Chains A and B, each alone.
Chain A
Amino acid sequence: MSLPLDDLIGQLGASLRPVRRLPGPLVRTGTWLGIVAGLGLVLACFAKLDAIAHRLASVPDMWMAVAGAALTAILAAVATFELSLPDRHPAWALLPIPGLALWIGATGLGCLRHWVIPDMHPATMRDTGDCFSFIVGLSIPLSIVTVMMIRRACPLRPGLTAAVGGLAVSAAAATLLTLFHPYDASAIDMLVHVVAVSLVVLANRAMGGWVLSPKPSLPRL
């Protein structure tokens, strides 16, 4: 072994401090889901739960869309905390795909129902604006929580990890949006959801990736 490598090891040894072991990814996922569930309980205090329950029971594709969003949030959260560990394979990023497929498929089915069945009450432009604000607004604090939770880990793909975290956050926000979503799905509503989720994912990738990166970019001459 060359002397410089010995020097490096000596430096690393000199800067060693006792560390508190990070809880496993499933424990951290459970904690994150607990925080989201707690937030959901608080929001539920302001929602008309009877009306929501009636709507979910009477419109199967809406129930499936909510299940898809919730499944996406759960799978993306698992993937995020797995990806935050340095030895995990980047293929974990594919885990949320089944939930995402169910979510998009069921929402698309809702749009189709709106076109073939008369007397439906699809979301107006103003309603969709509220949906957008809700998803983005709720995603901001949840994104901060998520980045704080994965910061102590050491993701080797910070941008990818943060982007999947953004998907988890936006899917959770979309799930909680159901509590305040008293209208049927429409193409414009679906489009606004897609834009809001994409925006959150991209913002997380940019900001979260920057925060999670181990060092600043190299200044070039």
Chain B
Amino acid sequence: MTPGAEQRAAELDAAWGRLMVAAQGGNRVAYERLLRDCVPLIRRVARSQRVHPDTVDDVVQDVLLTVHRALQTYDPLRSFSAWLAAIAQRRSIDALRRHGRRDKREVYAPIDYENHADATATWHEEGTADMRGALVRIAVDELPAGQREAIELLAMRQLSLDEAARSTGKTTGALKVNMHRALRTLRTRFGGNVE
């Protein structure tokens, strides 16, 4: 890093540190600005840890929630960037482990499944309600954990946002974000025809 870039990084770190101290004092504007500003750093750390691109947004969300819970642990004498990067690194490793466990447990073979009952059946031509349900189920199972959880609780079990939030310990905002992403992923998967 050049001396100029180092100085800019140090100035940015000091500015973030000041925003964090203000957030610890309850300043909502400073807090929201800080969270928005630090998203690119979280994404960069997640990518450097080789988190799958589909999961990077989940890591960002996890890190923001962790920062929210850990607000009182930040020491202004330490670098905010280093503090945040360490949290992002740990959460990225958690995401990689979750992903690894899922890959070990589940086999991605949608063609095999679709061809099992009737090799000629397709979604558009002869799909029955059962087949459609099975395909949706497979697509839901392949969603990242956070998105799968939101769709299972809010769409399949028809829980209210508050009930789902109580059940998972997540905020209603986090659940809405996951639900939105899950629906977007499913729409893409089914060519924009799934409601």
Contacts and interface: CB of A to CB of B under 8 A. Distances in A.
A156 B90 contact: yes
Contacts of A86: 66, 70, 73, 86-87, 90
Interface residues of A, number: 37
B174 interface: yes
A10 B69 contact: no
Contacts of B173: 7-8, 10-12
Contacts of B39: 1, 5
Contacts of B156: 221
Nearest to A20: B72
Contacts of B181: 4
A43 interface: no
A79 B64 CA distance: 25
B183 to A, nearest CB: 11
B75 interface: yes
Contact of B28 (A4, A13, A215): A13
Most chain A CB atoms below 10 A, which of B25, B39, B71, B171: B71
A214 B68 CA distance: 12
Contact of A156 (B87, B170, B172): B87
Contacts of B70: 85-86, 153-154
Interface string B23-49: 111101001100110010000000000
- What range describes how many residues of B lie at the interface? 35 or more
A10 B64 CA distance: 11
Contact of A19 (B24, B87, B91, B157): B24
Contact of A5 (B57, B75, B145): B57
Interface string A180-219: 0000000000000000000000000000000000111011
Contacts of B68: 12, 15-16
Contact of A8 (B61, B86, B87): B61
A4 B184 CA distance: 12
A18 interface: yes
Given A8-B174, A21-B75, A87 B87 contact: yes
A9 B72 contact: no
Contacts of B91: 156
Contact of B169 (A6, A20, A216): A216
A21 B20 CA distance: 11
Contacts of A214: 69, 169
Nearest first, the 4 closest Cβ-Cβ pairs linking A and B are A215-B169, A11-B173, A18-B26, A154-B70
Interface of A: 1-2, 4-22, 24, 85-89, 152-154, 156, 214-216, 218-219, 221
